[in-house]
Amino acid sequence: MIEKGRISVLELALIMYATVIATAILYIPYVTVQHAKRDLWLSPIWGSLSGFLIVFIIVILSRFFPGKTLIEYCELILGRTIGKIIAFIYLFFLLHDTAIGFREYGEFVESAFLHNTPMLFVTGSIAISCAIAVHGGIQTIGRCAVLFLPIVLASYVLIYIFLIPDLNVKNMLPIMSNGVMPSIKGSLAPHAWLSQFSLMSFLLPLLTNQQKVMKWGMFSVIASVLTMVFINLGNLFLFGKIIINLQFPVFEAARFVSIGSFFEHIESIIIAVWVLGGFIQLSAFFYMLVLGTSQWLKLPSYKPFVLPIGFLIILFSAWTIPSFEDMIRGMGTTVPYYFLTVQLIIPILLLCVAVIRRKRPNSFLQ
């Protein structure tokens, strides 16, 4: 085993929660509302189907092949040549996905706060911090998730608690006035983000206790969906119809907070707190990419790859996305199909072939 460190099921759930939510609460509301309008709060509920399905598939595959990641059991299921090709496709996607995550981080920080700072400096600075965490191993990332995520979650809940006098519940009415289809169309992006639970494959072999992993995986999906629903409702209650024009509604909501004459303009605090969640997300992506690459090459250690792959991630983040407008447009058009094809179709294919070849899990649902 390349990685000697271990994490608990709680740390697994928190890491996966951060992997989905860190950027989802920033970008998904704007993408979803373009289709769903006032029903945008329903879209994550439909999107949860992908999250539940992929957790179920990944956990069952882990019981077919205990102690193996998706990169490793691709060869066991599909044979050496085809397995290597499919694993490479998944790793290349993970490189692209990680680069997109770093670019999302950079675009938000630059547009909201550091307006004149070069993008490469913004993404490069967080990449160095993530590289230190990745080099420290999965235990470092797990401990950071336990330490930072409660602070991140509490900060976003407090935003809307402080804004209760300004919230108007009537903004969500009438519900489904145009039927259910707008909210279903708006669920495409939540489907794509929640399909990232396929990355659990890299973490399951590292658990100290394999018991109740299905339960904690499903719990992480539920927590992610409830957070998206809460954020979407809060934004809808506060902004009403104008939410369709706000690219970062959570950040705009933070600007509305004003208690007395001494507690206001807290958007800088929110950015600082969000960076903690973004750090967990990007470190997790970074770690899984480095670990998977080392397993694909069958190397004894992943640590020599940390800096080279970090450099490659930064290059991809600059090359693959021409502009912020193109990135936002892609989130509502091609990116969800791209995510779902790789993160949902490949695990389904692997499970189907494994079942056909009469593999059996050590144990079923617990």
Distance CA 265, CA 77 (A): 55
Domain that holds residue 60: 9-356
Across the strands, what pairs with 264? 258
Residue 215 lies in a domain: yes
- The total domain count for the chain is 1
CA dist 269 and 271 (Å) reads: 5
Q: What is the pLDDT along the chain (366 residues), one digit of tens a residue?
A: 677 889 999 999 999 999 998 888 888 888 888 888 888 999 999 999 999 999 999 999 998 888 899 998 898 888 889 999 999 999 999 999 999 889 888 888 887 777 777 888 888 888 999 999 999 989 999 999 999 988 888 888 888 888 888 888 888 888 888 888 999 998 998 999 999 999 999 999 999 888 889 999 999 999 999 999 999 998 999 888 888 888 888 888 877 777 666 666 667 777 788 888 889 999 999 999 999 999 999 888 888 889 999 999 998 888 887 777 888 888 878 888 888 999 999 999 999 998 888 655 544 444
Amino acid identity of residue 159, one-letter, is I
Q: What H or E segment, with its residue span, contains residue 222?
A: helix 213-239
Closest CA to 235 of 248, 224, 225: 248
Give which of 349, 293, 366, 348 is closest to 82, Cα–Cα: 349
Give the pLDDT confidence score for residue 294 in this predicted structure: 92
Tell me whether residue 279 is in a domain. yes
For residue 1, tell me if it sits in a domain: no
Domain assignment of residue 363, yes or no: no
What CATH number is associated with residue 175? 1.20.1740.10
Fill in the amino acid letter for 355: V
Distance between CA 293 and CA 286 in Å, rounded? 11
Q: For residues 122-153, b (16+ Cβ closer than 10 Å) or e, as one string?
A: bbbebbeebbebbbbbbebbbebbeebbeebb
Q: What is the DSSP string of 46-103?
A: HHHHHHHHHHHHHHHHHHHSTT--HHHHHHHHH-HHHHHHHHHHHHHHHHHHHHHHHH
In 3D space, the residue among 190, 196, 191, 202 whose CA is nearest the CA of residue 61 turns out to be: 202
Cα 299 to Cα 3: distance, rounded to the nearest angstrom: 11
C-alpha neighbours within 13 Å on the C-beta side of residue 284: 32
Q: Please enumerate in sequence order all residues whose Cβ is within 8 A of that of 169, keeping only pairs 6 or more positions apart, or say none.
A: 237
Q: Is residue 364 part of a domain?
A: no
Tell me the whole-structure pTM to 2 decimals.
0.90
Domain annotation covers residue 96: yes
Instruction: Specify if 366 maps to a domain.
Output: no
Instruction: Encode 12-43: b = buried (16+ Cβ within 10 Å), e = exposed.
Output: bbbbbbbbbbbbbbbbbbbbbbbbbbbbbbbb
Residue 307 parent element (H or E): helix 306-319
Structure tokens at 19: 């992997």
Q: 258-267: long-range contacts at Cβ-Cβ below 8 A with a sequence spacing of 24 or more?
A: 259/162, 266/159, 267/112
Q: In angstroms, what CA-CA distances link 117 with 112, 120, 200?
A: 11, 9, 34
Is 3 among the domain residues?
no
C-alpha–C-alpha distance, residues 320 and 88, integer Å: 18
Q: Could you tell me the CA-to-CA distances from 144 to 4, 152, 153, 293 in Å, in that order?
A: 18, 12, 14, 23
